A and B are shown apart, each in its own frame.
Chain A
């Protein structure tokens, strides 16, 4: 068990203790503080606003705030704590009104997308490192272009010396679409090696029709296929690392809007009732 695992376990234990303490304290306070639901509501809203500020913090790295790593940790455990307080706020009951139902679903979606993103950010980098061939996401098209150029050059270069176009035709019909763009996203997300094996098998099946010169080029193409597969895997992993935010952040803002309406409506309609 690494130090990081120990730290995570300790943080989780701390969170569990804090959640238990919150539940106990809430149970003791509830009879004497009839407006406690408003307090828990404001705490949840405050936490949500603070957690949302993490996005702003990332945009202004020059300001002398605490490091982003600490912000991230607070974001994660603060988010989980907000979920616990939210359960206390709704008295652990499933809402039935339209506005509250929407708000509840949004909160659940934001929370679970956050948990998914957290898991992804912990699991995916290690997987990408194991894959090798790390490349910045924005440079994937450049690397892909180079791979494509090299593959085309290799296949075309065999036509004249080999006196045959078998490999070139195979590249044109079978491999060029693969090199033209990123491919096999879901296969790489699930960690499947099948697409690469299929392509390599097709190339192997063609080898008996190739000349000696083409065979050498086929070996290079196979190597390029493996590199392309590696690149696709890197792209899929990194895209996933960025794509979950397409759910988490927009839903967060939607949730805040619904929360604002919820606060106004509750204050306006309750008339002081709890």
Chain B
């Protein structure tokens, strides 16, 4: 293919390529632009092809006008200037057009204007909130109920309940933004690990959720609610915390040291645990000297052994019980079934925990209080030593009643004979009523006044060896002895929550080594590592902190005296 007809070098001499100018000659598209070109204002400046000058002769101007058209534009014209000095070749005027670059500039201006305009329109409209809302808000923080709640709290609307007046007054945006930039969102804060980040927004949270802002009294930096609970993430529930947020503090050695130091300065009342709901009993244990400030990075590594196991804390229950014996297999089957955990332990209504064991429901079936092995069905009352003593002191009457009601003996003589025989047998064995009382209360099968009061009854399962067999019995002068009440805690590890139901696929013995427990003081709680076996990345079950722990704690009374929002002000 041949070259284009216009030599680029020739074109260079045209001197009209000014892509940086905003306007170009209107004749350019015809391929014949004028050499003057339009002005910066976009107006055609064309007049004539040259500006004639007077011809000079010997340095003196003459009356003859001379054409000055440049050579690259054709050189001097044939006609030349008019006698009055005007160029005869007028240039046809054009309507200049914008250069490509200028058109691009217009596009930019149009885009800027459209952006600003559309933003002003939307921000000035009633749909401003919808436009600015980064994502739907959680279900609890929207709707008529929340609006009413916000209104009751003095907020203009639902948005203002959390965001304050910036939600309703756009004029406040810039001052609020500048204020945030200087304080809670300053550059220094952004680049600070674990900044003291209790913010204005958190103060809004605490307006309604005052007590939920409490974690522990020795917290060094009150933690912002939004670290765990991010709003505007969708219409469902407010996002729940994972474990990463916890290890942000609990995995930080400096923070934990500072927290421990702070804890030492606070009175014990600041760490008092709130009682469990419903009058439930908690297993009492001392708060560790430095609180819970050990550096923990995950459950498998760094998490301390459970305190009850680590410190081998004893079960304070005064009841004497031997798990090993009951699970040994020596005990005859109950209803055709060998004793196992489920024989005594049943889930409570919540299906999360087990009901405390009680005599009436779990022991009586085997451990009847049949103190006289010759008189099945005649049993001591349970639960009150005064009643037991009264029962024993009215033993003839009790035998008489038993004879009538249980043995169906009728007739005064026959009843008296029955009672006399029973009492004679006792006198032969125990001698006096006082001795009988001593034997009943203080015998424990191994020792005591009688070494064991009852023999194995014919139809019973376990003989009654005396109250002291199971209970701590303390003698009192001139009164019935004191029997320590069994105290079984409802919750053993109150710092964590647990649910037995999801663990139903496991055997009880996988976690609770009851078969090896011979002392009633043994607390048969699992070791932490037995939990780790499943609750770890290797085990494949959730091992996040929130699986067992809850950040929000009920503030002790000493803390409740203060207003949390004030106490945690940044």
- Where the two chains meet, the residues of A that have a C-beta atom closer than 8 Å to any C-beta of B are 30-36, 38-39, 42, 95-100, 132-139, 141-148, 150, 181, 223, 226-227, 230-231, 242, 245-246, 249-251, 253-254, 257-258, 261, 263-274
Closest A-chain residue to B27, C-beta based? A141
In the assembled complex, 6 residue pairs joining A and B whose CB atoms fall closer than 8 Å, in A order, are A32-B252, A98-B132, A250-B104, A257-B112, A265-B173, A273-B202
Q: Which 4 A-B residue pairings sit nearest by Cβ, starting from the closest?
A: A145-B31, A272-B199, A272-B184, A250-B111
Partner of A263, one of B116, B136, B177: B177
Q: Smallest CB–CB gap between B160 and chain A, Å?
A: 11
Q: Indicate which residue in B6, B192, B244 contacts A142 across the interface (CB closer than 8 Å).
A: B6
- B17 engages A138 (CB within 8 Å): yes
**Shortest distance in angstroms between A231's beta carbon and chain B's nearest beta carbon?**
7
**Which of the four size classes fits the interface of chain B?**
35 or more
Would you call A139 and B17 a contact (CB within 8 A)? yes
Which A residues are in CB contact (< 8 Å) with B130? 98
B4 touches A133 (CB 8 A): yes
Within 8 A of A (CB), among B150-197: 162-164, 166-167, 172-174, 176-178, 180-181, 183-185, 187, 189-195, 197
CB < 8 Å neighbour of A268 from B104, B172, B190: B172
Cβ A97 vs Cβ B133 within 8 A:
yes
B100 adjacent to chain A (CB < 8 Å)? yes
Closest residue to A139 on the B side, CB-wise? B11
Stretch in contact with the other chain, from B224-232, B305-313, B512-520, B530-538: B224-232
Complex CA–CA separation, A230 to B2 (angstroms): 10
Q: Which one, A133, A142, A263, A267, contacts B3 given CB within 8 A? A: A133
**Bound state CA distance, A170 and B327, in angstroms?**
113
A97 touches B5 (CB 8 A): no
Residue B197 contacts which of A34, A150, A181 (CB distance < 8 angstroms)? Answer: A34
Interface residues of B in 78-130 (CB under 8 A from A): 100, 103-104, 107-108, 110-112, 114-116, 119, 122-123, 130
Measured CB to CB, the closest approach of chain B to A196, in angstroms, equals 11
Closest Cβ of chain A: how far from B427's Cβ, in Å?
80
Least CB distance from A136 to B in Å reads 6
**Which residue, A96, A242, A265, A272, has most C-beta atoms of chain B within 10 A?**
A272
B188-228 Cβ-contact flags toward A at 8 Å (1 or 0):
01111111011111101000000000000000000011110
Query: Judging by beta carbons under 8 Å apart, are A100 and B134 in contact?
Result: yes
Q: How far is the CB of B230 from chain A (nearest CB, A)?
A: 7
Kindly state the separation between the CA atoms of A242 and B101 in the bound complex, as whole angstroms: 9
Q: From A272, which residue of chain B is reached at the shortest CB distance?
A: B199
Answer yes or no: B32 CB below 8 A from chain A CBs: yes
Residues of chain B within 8 A of A35, CB atoms compared: 185, 189-190, 195, 197
Tell me the minimal C-beta distance from B192 to chain A in angstroms. Answer: 8
A246: chain B residues at CB < 8 Å are 103-104, 107
Instruction: Give the contacting residue for A273; candidates B19, B173, B199, B245; CB below 8 A.
Output: B199
Distance in angstroms between the alpha carbons of A269 and B115 in the assembled complex: 21
With A39-B190, A98-B122, A272-B185 as contacts: A31 and B110 at CB distance below 8 Å? no
In the bound complex, residues from chain A placing their C-beta under 8 Å from that of B74 are none
Closest to B134 in A: A97
Tell whether, in the assembled complex, residue A264 and residue B177 are in contact, meaning their CB atoms are under 8 Å apart: yes
Which B residues fall within an 8 A CB radius of A? 1-6, 8, 11, 14, 16-19, 24, 28-33, 100, 103-104, 107-108, 110-112, 114-116, 119, 122-123, 130-136, 162-164, 166-167, 172-174, 176-178, 180-181, 183-185, 187, 189-195, 197-202, 204, 224-227, 230-232, 244-245, 247-248, 252, 570
Residue picked from A35, A226, A257, most chain B C-beta under 10 Å: A35
User: How would you classify the secondary structure of chain A's contact residues: helix, strand, loop or mixed?
Assistant: helix
Q: Which residues of A are found within 8 Å of B116, using beta-carbon distances?
A: 257
Point out the residues of chain A lying under 8 angstroms from B134, CB to CB.
95-97, 99-100
Does the CB pair A273–B5 fall under 8 Å?
no
Q: Are A253 and B108 in contact, CB atoms less than 8 angstroms apart?
A: yes
B200/A141 in contact, CB under 8 A: no
Distance in angstroms between the alpha carbons of A150 and B107 in the assembled complex: 37
CA A181 – CA B28 in complex, angstroms?
Answer: 12
Complex alpha-carbon distance, A246 and B104, angstroms: 6
Q: Which residues of chain B are near A97, meaning CB under 8 Å?
A: 131-135, 232
A267–B176 touching, CB < 8 Å: yes
B180 touches A273 (CB 8 A): no
Most chain A CB within 10 A, of B111, B162, B195, B570, is at B111
Q: Decide if B112 touches A141 in the complex (CB within 8 Å).
A: no
Instruction: Assess whether B1 is in contact with A271, with CB atoms less than 8 Å apart.
Output: no
Q: A99-B132, A145-B32, A147-B4 are in contact. List 19 more A-B contacts (CB 8 A).
A: A31-B245, A34-B224, A95-B135, A96-B135, A97-B134, A141-B29, A141-B31, A142-B33, A143-B11, A145-B30, A146-B5, A181-B29, A242-B100, A250-B110, A257-B119, A258-B115, A264-B174, A269-B167, A270-B201
Residues of chain B with a CB closer than 8 A to A231's CB: 4
Q: Which of B16, B132, B136 contacts A269 (CB 8 A)?
A: B132
Contact status A253-B112, CB under 8 Å: yes
Q: B224, A138: Cβ atoms under 8 Å?
A: no
Instruction: Give which listed residue, B2, B197, B244, contacts A272 with CB less than 8 A.
Output: B197
**Of B4, B176, B183, most A-chain CB atoms within 10 Å:** B4
Q: Please give the distance in Å from A264's CB to the nearest CB on chain B.
A: 5
CA distance A223 to B3 in the complex (A): 10
Decide: A32 and B1 in contact? CB cutoff 8 A: no
A138: chain B residues within 8 A (beta carbon): 16-19, 24
Contacts of A245 in B (CB 8 A): 104
Q: How far is the CA of A165 from the CA of B30 in the complex (A)?
A: 26
Nearest Cβ on chain B to A145's Cβ, whole angstroms = 2
Q: Find out whether the CB atom of A135 lies under 8 angstroms from the CB atom of B195.
A: no
Bound CA span A35–B195, Å: 9
CB of B241 to closest CB in A, whole Å? 12
**A63 → chain B, closest Cβ, in Å?**
16
A219–B104 alpha-carbon span in the complex (Å): 41
| Bound-state Cα–Cα, A135 to B7, Å | 9
User: What's the Cα separation between A264 and B172 when bound, in Å?
Assistant: 10
In the complex, residue of chain A having the shortest beta-carbon distance to the beta carbon of B235: A96
A93 CB, min distance to chain B CBs, angstroms? 9
Which residues of chain A come closer than 8 Å to B19, judged between CB atoms?
137-138
In the bound complex, what is the Cα–Cα distance between A224 and B227 (angstroms)?
A: 73
Given A96-B135, A227-B5, A261 and B176 contact (CB-CB distance below 8 Å): no
Known: A97-B133, A98-B132, A249-B108. A33 touches B191 (CB 8 A): yes
A119 to chain B minimum Cβ distance, whole angstroms, is: 20
Chain B residue at minimum C-beta to C-beta distance from A40: B190
- The reply to whether B185 and A270 contact each other, CB–CB distance below 8 Å, is yes
- Please, which residues of chain A bring their CB within 8 A of the CB of B173? 264-265, 268
Say whether A31 contacts B191, CB under 8 Å: no
Which chain A residues border B177 with CB–CB below 8 Å?
A: 263-268
A234 to B29, CA, bound (A): 16
